[in-house]
């Protein structure tokens, strides 16, 4: 069965797309936790960061560089936060690794 993100990538489920290239898609989160809350999703399924393989290193780097590029495009020069949830206790709700890009307000610490 396809993950939610695979269905979005296949255009089976609509999403507000901010950016797309051959390796990933960047969509607006449907339950934003900040004024800007985007998800940077690889087009290949990596269930979670603990299951990433060494041959996926370049796609993992691409996700972070894409997040930084989109943050710049959205004028988040005052700062932003990047989050990857892993496992139930880490807040993972979809078994398809993705990077949260949050900005548009001051972030607090600790984050959880």
Global pTM value? 0.95
Asked whether residue 26 is assigned to any structural domain, the reply reads yes
d(CA 8, CA 2): 10
17-67 tens-digit pLDDT: 999 999 999 999 999 999 999 999 999 999 999 999 999 999 999 999 999
Which residue among the candidates 37, 96, 98, 100 is catalytic per the annotation?
98
Whether 96 is catalytic is no
Q: How many domains does the chain have?
A: 1
Q: Residue 60: name the closest of 19, 100, 99 by CA.
A: 99
- Give the count of beta carbons closer than 10 Å to the beta carbon of residue 77: 9
> Residue 111: pLDDT band by 50, 70, 90 thresholds?
confident
Q: What percent of the chain has pLDDT over 70?
A: 99
| Gap between the Cα atoms of 2 and 10, Å rounded | 10
CATH number of the domain bearing residue 93: 3.30.428.10
Domain that holds residue 47: 4-103
């Amino acid at each position: 069965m396809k993950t939610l993100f695979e269905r979005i990538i296949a255009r089976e489920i609509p999403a507000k797309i901010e950016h797309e290239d051959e390796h990933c898609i960047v969509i607006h989160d449907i339950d934003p936790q900040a004024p800007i809350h985007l998800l940077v999703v690889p087009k290949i399924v990596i269930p979670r960061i603990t299951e990433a393989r060494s041959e996926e290193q370049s796609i993992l780097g691409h996700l972070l560089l894409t997040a930084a590029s989109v943050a710049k495009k959205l004028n988040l020069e005052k700062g932003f936060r990047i989050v990857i949830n892993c496992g139930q206790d880490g807040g993972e709700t979809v078994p398809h690794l993705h990077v949260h890009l949050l900005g548009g307000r001051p972030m607090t610490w600790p984050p959880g």
